[in-house]
Amino acid sequence: MDLAEATRQRPARLAVGVIGPGRVGSVLGAALERAGHTVVAASAVSEASRARVAERLPNARVREPAGVVAAADLVLLTVPDDALRPLVHGLVETGTDVRGKLLVHASGRHGYRVLDPATSAGALPLALHPVMAFTGRSEDANRLSACSFGVSAPDPLRPIAEALVVEMGAEPVWIEEDRRALYHAALSGGANHLVTLVAESAALLGAAGVDDPARVLGPLLSASLDNALRFGIDGLSGPVLRGDAGTVAEHIAELRDHAPESVASYVALARLTADRALAAGLLRPQDAERLLDVLQA
């Protein structure tokens, strides 16, 4: 059966299996159930996973991975990135019948080609990556409907991939297979490094004697994020934009005294900010030159 034929024959309502019912898998499974599908089986090893299945996927029977695949039309492979490829190889090497099954993973790093061993055995591969941070709390399900999914799939399966995302209430964003790593680097750099930067700023404010750093940072960072999303680099403010090399030099000196581990990241980000501002015509070349001299340290 080729992909186009399998797509035409796919039933409207699906029996869903979940291999890896953690924070992500349990939420996606529950979202598919709200869309009218039924989670019939899940592979859960730990007590926490079993409890999550009982709470969020009450119609699912706990089975071994091969049993989950056998019971389902669509199988969520929601395991950590590094475990995904071995899982797929393991299913195929143990003779699990994946013919005609929609295999869906939620990894940002991987596209659908990570599922190639199963695709060669007749599976239908989809990469559906929810662009949100999962906390494991109940609000994850509500946040899912407000997020985007990075979608990659063979062309005949693109309509199914995008329809599944829409059914879950989210927005599909098509990512070409060869751009998945760049896509994931962009998301990880923005989200993960943002947390690190905010935590670092809060710690430095605490060292400066501020009792409630979060209260001080909240309005500033909210406005900065809004400006960045709306205007890009044109939303920039601060000493680099103004060409205040003396201020930047003083920042570096203070960090050396009180938080030497932060100097390298401050300098690297200030250089990148200066480069972007200069390229956008926001920073005069002579000001950029003075800044870059300070940032050689």
The secondary structure element, H or E, covering residue 171 is strand 171-174
Mean pLDDT, range 37-56, rounded to an integer: 90
Q: Could you tell me if 26 and 52 are in contact, meaning their C-beta atoms sit under 8 angstroms apart?
A: yes
Long-range contacts of 128-131 (CB under 8 A, 24+ apart): 128/28, 128/104, 128/161, 128/164, 128/165, 129/184, 130/24, 130/28, 130/106, 130/170, 131/173, 131/187
Q: Which residue has the higher pLDDT, 7 or 76?
A: 76
**59 or 76: which leads in pLDDT:** 76
pLDDT at position 223 is 97
255-272 pLDDT, tens digit each = 999 999 999 999 999 999
The percentage of the chain sitting over the pLDDT mark of 70, rounded to a whole number, equals: 96
Given strand 61-62, what is the order of strands in its sheet?
A: 61-62, 38-43, 15-19, 74-77, 102-105, 124-130, 148-152, 171-174
Given a cut of 90, whether residue 133 has pLDDT beyond it is no
Question: Could you tell me which of 157, 146, 145, 173 has the C-alpha nearest to residue 32?
Answer: 145
Is pLDDT above 70 for 165? Answer: yes
pLDDT (average), residues 40-44: 93
Q: Give the pLDDT score at 141.
A: 82
In 3-state terms, what secondary structure has residue 103? Answer: strand
- DSSP letter, residue 149: E
**What are the tens digits of pLDDT across the range 191-232?**
999 999 999 999 999 999 999 999 999 999 999 999 999 999
Tell me the per-residue pLDDT of 9-32, one tens digit each, with 9 for 90 and over.
454 699 999 999 988 999 999 999
Q: Is the pLDDT of residue 1 over 50?
A: no
DSSP 120: H
CA-angle at 151, arms to 107 and 170, nearest 5°: 100
In this model, does residue 182 exceed pLDDT 50? yes
Architecture of domain 3-175: 3-Layer(aba) Sandwich (3.40)
Q: What angle do CA 41, 120, 107 make, to 5 degrees?
A: 55
Q: Which of 7-11, 141-145, 250-254, 274-278 bottoms out in mean pLDDT, i.e. has the lowest?
A: 7-11
Q: What integer pLDDT is reported at residue 45 of this predicted model?
A: 83
For the chain, which residues make up each domain, given as ranges?
3-175, 183-294
